[in-house]
Chains A and B, each alone.
Chain A
Amino acid sequence: MNDTRPNPIRAVLQKPWLWAYLAAGLTFAATSLIAGSGAGSLFYAALTFASFSAIVGIGQMLVITLGPGNIDLSIPATMTLAATLALKFMDTQTALILPGLLVAIGVGIGCGVVNFLLILLLRIPPIIATLSASFLYQSLAIWSNRGLRIKPPEPLADFATGGALGIPNVAVVGIALAICAWLLLERAIAGRWISAIGQNLRAARLSGVPVNAVRFGIYVNSAICAALTGFLLASFSGGANLNMGTEYMLMSIAVVVIGGSSIGGGNSNVPGIWGAALFMFLIVSMLNSYGLGAGIRLILTGLVIVGVVTLASRKGYDA
């Protein structure tokens, strides 16, 4: 990254997030060929559903940035638990929307703290710690409500499904969070700390980075992002499901990788998260619209993801 002033076009071409947006744009164009006048509503739907992937993706991205071995596999269970408890607490009453949101965030903080304690105190590798903790969260979710779907309060459902000026409300939330994450990473000292830890843990510690405090913050942040997504998704789709988080396990990792962040840590990429989230929704819509069978659909999705990841990481991260 420290080569002498490349020309502006080259600079853009070298942005790892470029490929995610390019892929999203191409799939959108291809789907629009069939959709015709429906392209507008396709774009609206893409923004809506990409928001959920983007918010969990931001949390996951920061965790992955911490370096090899750091990953949060408890995202689906945290989403389910937060959504289940918050919707049960609100019990369709409008007056409880704000406290309900706080319940969801509180659950997120709780899950994040548990994750981090397992990792730090018991010295369990994050992949095992978050996975085993997720059984705990999932069981709590099952136990607390036995899988009954409680509807969100009316105004909350209206907010989650509504939008203004052609932009869905959930997308506004997702974009705002992305901007916060970008500011944190690019403009705040904490962001430097996160990248430093991911690039070399020992060096970061020796140079005085509060390693454990940063890691604590990141894991809690990831759980809060997951909890918030669960809350929004349940409000959007009319209730919390026990298996509502399932697809966000891989989705959260996929948007990070396709978005151009380094899977090995130390280098993250916020704009790419949104490009990748849009792409992940659009590719399924495109293949569905062309009427391809599930088998071909999955194969093509896999191939395209491999292609985008290869392009995005073409020059490698030898910084």
Chain B
Amino acid sequence: MTLKAILLGAAAGIITFAAPVAEADTSDKRIALSNNYAGNSWRQAMLESWQKNGDQAVTDGVVAAADAFTTSENQATEQAAQIQNMILQGYDAIVINAASPTAINGAVKAACDAGITVVSFDGIVQEPCAWRIAVDFQQMGREQVKYLAERYPDGGNLLEIRGLAGVFVDDEISAGIHDEVTNTNFEIVGSVHGDWAQDVAQKAVAGILPSLPEIVGVVTQGGDGYGAAQAIGATDRPMPTIVMGNRQDELQWWADEQAANGYETTSLSIAPGVSTLAFWVAQQILDGQDVPKDLTVPFLKVTQDDLVDALKTTPKGSVANVEYTQDQAKDVIAAAK
């Protein structure tokens, strides 16, 4: 710790005094967010949560700074350069949503070597010196099928909407779905790529629908449920149970259908506020707490019972969100031990 602090001080060109080993005061610590992409509503909400939570933490004197930086091109090389800059600027911790699990390992290693705490979340990095707050994507797929199996114990046909082809997240969620389907009476009769975007999903679903038999459920990956509903609504098919992904337009559509004909479904996703969880984990590490390297993000679920409340708190056009507190971060850490 002492050596790291000196190295860090040297790197930043400022003199810092070595902090006590445990229960360190983090009020002079500076945390940076390195974010690879900002081009959708989820990421925008994520940045907003970070800012809100970070500003409050600075006002409360918990940390000295909580700055957010986003690369313009969603490219690993650019993010690596950004992290190098952060090292030079002398941040005490860097929280990363990474463009690639492997391609920025070099920059992450350099940051660790400079004594900087690196916490990756959502888009995690594989470099062992960094902490990882990962999403259990397979579980996300399984939960959807489990819900549908409860609704339709006799099974039936399912349509699967996948994400962006070739991305790790897409493979994982899909693997979870297919794995769980083998335990049920369901059959997946069609699979399209919706690229996690409502308009792309709408187009893909409209294209495959004419060749599908009747379907009872649609499993999704988030950001594609409303598009599926639009595409199916444009035909004279009965509306299947579409698992939603917490987007406000999805929740609104669900509430409208609920009012009109008692439509029921469920919705789950990762809250964009997971950036605040990463913030508090970084703060806890700087505080000298013993934090396991691998943590798991809890899902944010919206069920039929809390649909109305979720709609009230979700801004129009955004995504259902929750910001994590220091205590919740401590709970997540304790659960991983």
Q: Point out residues on A near B: beta carbons under 8 Å.
A: 31, 34-36, 38-42, 45-46, 48-49, 135, 138, 142, 145-151, 161, 233, 236-239, 241-244, 246-247, 281-282, 284-285, 288-289, 291, 294-295, 297-298
Contacts and interface: CB of A to CB of B under 8 A. Distances in A.
A45 B205 CA distance: 10
B315 interface: yes
A39 B207 CA distance: 10
Contact of A289 (B38, B39, B197, B208): B208
Interface stretch (B91-99, B227-235, B282-290, B322-330): B227-235
B210 A244 contact: no
A48 B235 CA distance: 13
A149 B249 CA distance: 8
Contacts of B332: none
Contact of A35 (B38, B41, B202, B211): B211
Given A243-B39, A281-B203, A289-B211, A147 B197 contact: no
Given A148-B318, A150-B316, A42 B207 contact: yes
B40 A242 contact: yes
Contacts of B226: 238
Interface string B161-181: 010011000000000000000
A291 B227 CA distance: 20
Given A41-B235, A138-B39, A147-B43, A241 B207 contact: no
Interface in B200-238: 200, 202-204, 206-211, 226-227, 230, 234-235
Q: Identify the interface centre among A35, A41, A135, A149: most chain B CB within 10 Å of its CB.
A: A149
A41 B203 contact: no
B142 interface: no
B239 interface: no
Interface stretch (B9-17, B25-33, B53-61, B188-196): B188-196
Given A48-B206, A241-B197, A294-B166, A150 B317 contact: yes
Interface of B: 38-41, 43-45, 48, 72, 162, 165-166, 190-193, 195, 197-200, 202-204, 206-211, 226-227, 230, 234-235, 247-249, 315-318
B39 A242 contact: yes
A297 B315 CA distance: 38
A150 B248 CA distance: 10
Contact of A146 (B44, B191, B211, B230): B44
Given A142-B38, A142-B39, A146-B48, A35 B190 contact: no
Given A148-B315, A242-B39, A243-B39, A237 B199 contact: yes
Contacts of A48: 206
A147 B39 CA distance: 7
8 contacts: A45-B207, A146-B44, A236-B199, A237-B198, A237-B199, A237-B202, A294-B165, A294-B166
A285 to B, nearest CB: 3
B315 A49 contact: no
A123 B165 CA distance: 38
Contacts of B211: 31, 34-36, 38, 42, 285, 289
Contacts of B38: 142
A161 B206 CA distance: 12
A138 B39 CA distance: 9
A284 B207 contact: yes
Given A35-B210, A38-B209, A150-B316, A49 B44 contact: no
A244 B39 CA distance: 10
Contacts of B249: 149, 151, 238-239
A239 B72 CA distance: 24
In the A-B complex, list the 7 residue pairs whose CB atoms are closest, starting with the nearest: A38-B210, A285-B207, A148-B317, A294-B165, A149-B317, A147-B41, A147-B44
A191 B199 CA distance: 34
B234 A244 contact: no
A41 B209 contact: yes
Nearest to B189: A291
Q: Identify the interface centre among B44, B195, B248: most chain A CB within 10 Å of its CB.
A: B44
B193 A294 contact: yes
Given A237-B199, A284-B207, A298-B165, A291 B190 contact: yes
A247 B204 contact: no
A24 to B, nearest CB: 13
B39 A41 contact: no
Contacts of B316: 148-150
Contacts of A295: 165
A288 B191 contact: yes
